[in-house]
Structures are given as structure tokens and as C-alpha cells.
Structure 1
């Protein structure tokens, strides 16, 4: 099992995650680092700095595992790549990348998929424009790619992480980008999914309730919420008023339209629906047509010892301590595991490692439950809480809004790269708010420089 960490493509490290819990279940766990921020994703759009270095690092790590993992008791023919947030979008992106072919055999994408709006920087926004912006702020020439890159290579590393480059609303400037034929990401993942051009390997994917989060102790006023919506639709080039009206209609509790606590709660739901729930459902729907095994989950367990206020609910990353233990995953870990927490952890470890071994999380019942494969008729999923509960139609209305209705408004805005399909909810990807590196083996603590 190869773990690819998250962190909005700008933060994080593989060493933050303890590997012993998964390793005790009989798998060999490999946790990698990859270049992040400008060093991972900066591109001039030509041969001087093609970019997508973070994905190339991940691919090189998978090649290393293919060529060496037998020496550590691993099976090169049963490799599962799994990750959360930007790690989740990364692992599912590899299902669409020509360079990743044959390097893995199962995928677990947690709270982030290749269709998430932060997953890939899409036209009309160009990573080369942000490279020039960074170069200008660092005092480098921008008249030619070669002189700009030569100058940037002389700058201290820390400046690439501390220098702020601002993109349009909700667009992440340092992220994977389309680089055309012969590149790392030749075509938009939504198009490839729609046309069935992806690696047919078993997929497990899912989300938590509070995927995108901001605190507001006094709630969110109607005025603030309307302002947030108006700012959000600026990511599109036209038809903004219709998009604003549709969002305001869909995300207003008309029985309590001015209640600050209700508005705060529903605004968080909006962000999670858009950024995580609906693209995850779209990926599951498209992937399920391959009939190789698609499993959708919804993690809703909150520890009694969770350090956050109760009203926060189950927030982004809260499931990670139940796979990796409490070490290093601040501030998401409970201080002490309860008996219920231990049960949740045991079930999750069993499901995840079963899937890694067999491509099926329940080859036999786990906690009395068989996890039904996802299909578009009843859209089954497994809710993971103190018990495992099979359910159907997760966020059916909200997913229909984002995956079926909203794209019609988007396509009317005349995007340069329209993606008119159920598997696309946006024209451009990314949130502004959202190293050469050693491999880290959870059990062996073996460090090996990759490049």
C-alpha cells in the first residue's frame, strides 16, 4: 500500500503518518514525499520547465516500489495507491495518466478525486502565467522562459513556499495542470472518464460530512453568505447572475432564511457538496461502468474525545487517525481512543487491507456487513460509524444539482474548455484556500533517496 499524503498540493509530508497499524494487518506500507507548492507545480508551459513535478515524483516512487518491493516482502502485482484530500485527487488522477500504466492495481481516494475542483488547473487559467507572477515577485526576468528559469534556480528554496501568488477566486495556482499530448496529463480527467479511457482497477472512494470548513462562532449572516456566493461565481466568465440565483435558491433554508447558525451550517454543506461529495459520486458513477469493483463510503464517526466543539461535526481529515493512529495528525486526533473508537479503527483497518489484498473490502462479512458495489440504479454506499450501515442515494439531490443542473449554467458561460458531462461540475479547477524525498516504510523505517 503506497500512501500519498494530502495538503492542498502545498503542505504536508509522508512522515506525519504512522504506518504500524496498517502494517500489523499484513501489508507492506510505503509512505512517500513529493514536491509541493511552486517546486512541485510551477511550469513555463514549454520545455524549460514543463511542470507537474509532484506527479512525476509520485510516479517515480511507484516505479521504485515495482522494482524493489519484493526485497521487503511486498507483492509488486498487488499495489494499492491511497491518499486523502490532494492525496486522494492524486491517486485517482493516476487512473488517467499514461505514465502511470501498470504501476498500481487498486485505488483508494479519500476526500478528494480527480474531478474535484482543486484536482487540476484547467483552462482558461494557465500555470505559466502564475510562474511569471512568481518570477516578477522574486526579481527575475520574464521576457524568456530560459532566462526566467535560470534566475529562479538561483533563488533560496524557502522563497518558493513563502512568496504568495494569488489566483482568481477559488482557483489553486500550484496544482497539477493539463500539459497536452506527450505530457503528464494530456486530457481532462472528466473527458477520459466519460469516454471510458482509464485504467480498469478496483476503486474505493468516499468523503466525510464537513469537508470544507471555516469557523464562525456567531454563525454566518445572510449578508455575508450572499457576499460569499457573489465572490464564488467570479470564477466563471459569464452567466454569473444565473449561477448566483441558482446557488441562493438551492442553499437557503426558506423556513429560517436569516438564522446565522443555519446559514453557517448550510454554507459548509454547499462547499462540501461542490468540492467533494458530488465529484466523488460522479467518479464512482463513471467508474462503476467498468464493472471491476467500485465502493463508496461515507465516514461519519466522531470520537467522544474529539478536541473540536461538537457543532463542528466530522471535519476534513478526521478519519485519518483511525487508519494511522494519533501520532502527528494534529489537530484531528482524539486525545484518547474510546472503546467505540477502537471498534471503528478495527473495522476500517479490516476494510482497507481487505481491499488492498483482494480488490474487495468484504470478501466475507465485516461486522456482519457485506459492502455492496456501487452502481447508478440505487447508488449504494457504506456509512462508517460505530457500526457499518449499508445505505443508498448519498446526497442524491445535491449531487444532481452539481452534476446535472449546474453544468448547464456553466456551459452557457462559454468556457474555453467546456466539459459537458455528468462527471464535470466546473470549467476550471481549484481553491485558493486551498524535494526530492525519501521513501518511508512504516515498519522498516528504511530511507532510500529516489532521485
Structure 2
């Protein structure tokens, strides 16, 4: 009898969706009513989009530089038919960016309220890249849902505060730091409390982050604020375990921002009050001047281990030590890198005469900035070892130095941190490691002809999971990239459902073996699936030697 009832519910649900394809769906939540719209997936399936939903009150006025507040309920119907604003950053269209940016998007094939008796769908929660200072979760710019919505999931994409407004930290109660990460936690709590209204299962949430979003994912695994809010992690091309030394503040960076905006810095409290009075657009206008040289260091704003002022702390211990001890949420993980990662900065420095000359003349000073390590006296030999290993003697030139400089950027910013994360996390939980080698027609970086991809660089694998219109069109079923879209979305969705990408409904199956003790095995994702062992072993072993794990620390028993 119950199967007959369930069948009738499904038939009614399908009939409801068919009859309302062109209607603006309205969902009733505990916060108020939310009106969305209908969109079409890559394969022409209709789904429902609720975009620009506030998950926190605007972080303005007294809330600037402070933890977010839960969103207040509203009267009437919240219009979620289009993207909300991106967080403050340089933008070609200033109307695209606002300080009132703590918004999220929900994409679902179910209109809850009407279809609530159907089994809730697994949730993928996406955190965007951008070095903690650019990009967003907007569907029209950086995170189009059309590929993943051919899968049987609910997708959530979010914004979080960026730059100084999101990550300034003074080591005082005025600005303890980690605001952008706390925004992410608030969005996860919103999902916990409200995603069931959209047909999502709050007990099956997978964090999917790229670059800065992947670093965020790793931090959520150790944050006391995030515990219990997610159940699996997909961390693509970044991690929080690296050569970067985590501090309790970045007061010098805060003072630099204050000086650029004309605030005095002798008193931290007065400095923050002054910065709170500045228009949000001033932070975007001064962004480029915050960096040391040519938008470097790439990781300018960092997570901080917050001093305890009685506030809820996002990060209360060193990430590397936490993973080394097994002191983290032991959930299944997918993690990996692209074949070439950060080729762009290497070519950029070597083809720009001014930058190339500056790097030639001041390598000892610039290397710690570009490759993210402390230049203190105990590490004074690191710069020489890196130069000898990757660049050799003599002047830097494009033809002679491009590969070595590419390796330096790729390993320091992405490869080595991911290697260390997998090395440590796999001792305690299941980790599926990959190297993405598929080269399609579109890329984030090309040879000078602007037609030929340089290789498979940072972000290129993201092109087969989310639509990024300024980089590539939507791949249709006859495009050569279509197969890779099916492979990646299929494996990532299977992992979100089962914790195992091998459950994907694709041919051939990946036969992806998790990392084994004392074996650095990984899946090469290219034209074919190939299991291999030893991901850039020689290069990453060199970094392991330069930046050894903390002494007198032994892994806990899993």
C-alpha cells in the first residue's frame, strides 16, 4: 500500500512541476516566503532557482569587521529571481558589488512545500575561489549551475566577505579576524535550518571549494564552529596545511589598509572606528595597492588563530598540527590539483620587462613574498635552495626559466599544500586524490595566440562543474568537452551521495582507489581514467625537506 501512495505522490509532484514550468515558484520558510524562477540545465531539464537569498543581516555599520548576525525574518515575499550583489571588489559594473552581499543561491528540482514527501536530496555547498579578494557565487558570472543541475542534487552557492572587509585582523576585540570564514559558517547554519524547505537533506551536505574555497573547506574540518554542519569535503586545488605560518593577527596589513584610506594607526580602536566610517567602495579602490608587487602575494589575507576575547572563535589552533594529530572532522575527502596550476604568474613575470628585471635584481627579497614563506634568519637558506633547484644561476628569461618559475608558483601556492593535506588527512580518513590533466578548448590561460591553452592550469577543471561565461560557453551534448562534464559531475555527485565517486553512473567507471598508507596513489583524470602512484614525488619531497612537519608530534591512533 505504501508503495502505491508513494507512486501517487511522485505522479502528483511531476504533474505539479510540469504545470508550473513557467511559473515563479514560491517557497514558504521559517523566515518568510521566497519567490524564485525556473532555469534550464545543460541537457534541457527544468529546475528552480532561488538566488540572492540573505542568510545574514548586512555586515555594515557596527557589524563591519565583526561576526555576521543571523538574517532577520521578513514580511511579504522575498524576491529571489535573480543574483544578489557580489561582495565588495573591483568590478566593471559598480552596481554588481555591495557590502550587503551575504547572499546564497539554492538550485533544486523540487519545490518543497509541494513535494516534501519525496526523499530529500543530497546537498552540494559551493565556496568560490578568488584569493579571498575577488569572485562570487553569482550564477551569471562565476558559478552557473547548469552542469550540476543535470544531477540529482540540491546545489547551494554562496558569497562571503572579501579582502579587508572579510579578513582584516588586529588581534584585538575591535577586529578579531576570520569574518569571511564565519560568514561561510552562517551560510552552513542557514542550510542546516532551512534547506529542507527546498527539498535538500541537511544530514547530507558536501562542502565543495576551489582554491580559496578549498582552503576554507580544510579549515572547516578543524573549526569548532563548523562541527556537524557538513558530512563530506571536495577540496580542489588548495589546502590550509602548507609552509604558511598562521599567526594570531595581521596588524601590519590592517595598518596598511588604514594608511591608504587616511586613517591614523596609533590606536587600534580609533583606526577601526575610522575604517568603519569609510565607504565600502574605498576598499575596492585601494585593493591593488594592498599587494607588494603585481597582485602578490596571492594569499595576502590569511586565516588567523583568534585570541580568546569571549567570542566564538572560528580557528583556535594551527591547521597543520591539527591534521597531524588527527584533531579534525574525519569525513571522506576528494582532493587534488591540475597538471600545470599557476602558469599565469610565471609567464606574466617573465614577459613583463619591468617585473622580470625586478625579480632578477631582488629575488632574495621577493621570493618569500611570491612563494609564501617566512624569510626569518632560520630559513635564510631556503631562498638559495629554491633558486638552485628550480631556476639555476644566471638571468631569468622566458625560454630558460618559464618551467622552473611555473613549478615554483604551482608548488608553493597549490601543489605542496595539497600534498601535505592529503599526506596528513589520509592517515585518519578516506581520501580520494586526483591529478586533472584533460585539456579542452577553453582555459583560464593561453599562449600569446589567445587560442591555444598553455596547459591545464588553475581553475581549468572547474569549467566542467560550473558555467563560467567569461571563460567558456555552456558545453552542449555534441561538444568534445561534454564527456568530461558528465565524468566530473557524475563522480562529484556520487561522492556527495555515497562518499564514494566510484558509484557514479558513468562508463567507464573510474575504479578510484583511496590513498593507501605509504602509497601516494591518485587518479589521473584525462581523456581516460588511470590510477597512478607518486604525484610529483620528487618536487614535493623537496618541499617536505624545506618545511618539515613539527617536531615531537606523532600521529594519534585513528
- Tell me whether the two structures share a fold, i.e. TM-score over 0.5: yes
* Residue range with higher mean Cα deviation, 156-165 or 211-220: 211-220
Q: TM-score, normalised by structure 2?
A: 0.67
Aligned position for 2:457: 315
Secondary structure of the corresponding residue to residue 340 of structure 2: coil
Structure 1 position 246 matched with structure 2 position 385: yes
Give the superposition deviation at 1:161: 2.0
Structure 1 position 79 matched with structure 2 position 205: yes
Q: Is the contact between residue 380 and residue 392 of structure 1 (CA under 8 Å) also seen in structure 2?
A: yes
Aligned position for 2:134: 11
Deviations 1:238-271 (A, max 9, x none): 15552233213321479x9987424211210122
Which structure has more strand as a fraction of its residues?
2
Secondary structure of the corresponding residue to residue 489 of structure 2: helix
Provide closer, same or farther for how the CA distance between residues 258 and 150 of structure 1 changes in structure 2, counting only shifts above 3 A. Answer: closer
Q: Is the contact between residue 42 and residue 52 of structure 1 (CA under 8 Å) also seen in structure 2?
A: yes
Which of these two proteins has the greater Rg computed from alpha carbons?
2
Q: Is the contact between residue 325 and residue 553 of structure 2 (CA under 8 Å) also seen in structure 1?
A: no
Q: In 1, distance between residues paired with 2:423 and 2:297?
A: 25
Secondary structure of the corresponding residue to residue 281 of structure 1: helix
Q: Is the contact between residue 249 and residue 305 of structure 2 (CA under 8 Å) also seen in structure 1?
A: no
Q: Is the contact between residue 6 and residue 12 of structure 1 (CA under 8 Å) also seen in structure 2?
A: yes
Q: Is the contact between residue 66 and residue 76 of structure 1 (CA under 8 Å) also seen in structure 2?
A: yes
- Higher RCO (C-alpha 8 Å, min separation 6): 1
Aligned position for 1:139: 262
* Residue range with higher mean Cα deviation, 340-349 or 219-228: 219-228
Aligned position for 1:69: 195
Give the superposition deviation at 1:136: 2.7
Of residues 422, 426, 430, the one that matches 1:288 is 426
Give the superposition deviation at 1:147: 2.1
Of residues 370, 382, 388, the one that matches 2:529 is 388
Secondary structure of the corresponding residue to residue 271 of structure 1: helix
Aligned position for 2:495: 355
Q: In 1, distance between residues paired with 2:318 and 2:155?
A: 30
* Residue range with higher mean Cα deviation, 72-81 or 135-144: 135-144
Deviations 1:160-208 (A, max 9, x none): 1222334697474433222145522111100101111000101111111
Where in structure 1 are there 5+ consecutive unaligned residues?
409-417, 424-451
Q: TM-score, normalised by structure 1?
A: 0.81
RMSD: 3.0
Provide closer, same or farther for how the CA distance between residues 180 and 150 of structure 1 changes in structure 2, counting only shifts above 3 A. Answer: closer
Deviations 1:40-91 (A, max 9, x none): 0112321122221100100000000001111111111110011111011011
Of residues 169, 181, 184, the one that matches 2:314 is 184
Where in structure 2 are there 5+ consecutive unaligned residues?
1-123
Structure 1 position 302 matched with structure 2 position 302: no
Structure 1 position 377 matched with structure 2 position 518: yes
Deviations 1:305-353 (A, max 9, x none): 558224621111111110013x43x33x368666431111111111100
Give the superposition deviation at 1:396: 0.7
Q: Is the contact between residue 216 and residue 240 of structure 2 (CA under 8 Å) also seen in structure 1?
A: yes
Q: In 1, distance between residues paired with 2:231 and 2:197?
A: 19
Secondary structure of the corresponding residue to residue 197 of structure 2: helix
Give the superposition deviation at 1:363: 3.0
Alignment of 1:6-405 (within 5 A): 6-15=129-138, 16-116=142-242, 122-123=246-247, 126-163=249-286, 164-166=289-291, 170=297, 172-181=299-308, 183-212=313-342, 213-214=344-345, 215=347, 227=361, 229-230=363-364, 231-233=366-368, 235-239=374-378, 242-252=381-391, 260-290=398-428, 292-304=429-441, 306=443, 308-309=446-447, 310=452, 312-325=454-467, 327-328=468-469, 330-331=470-471, 333=472, 339-363=479-503, 366=506, 367-403=508-544, 405=545
Secondary structure of the corresponding residue to residue 203 of structure 2: coil
Q: In 2, distance between residues paired with 1:71 and 1:324?
A: 24
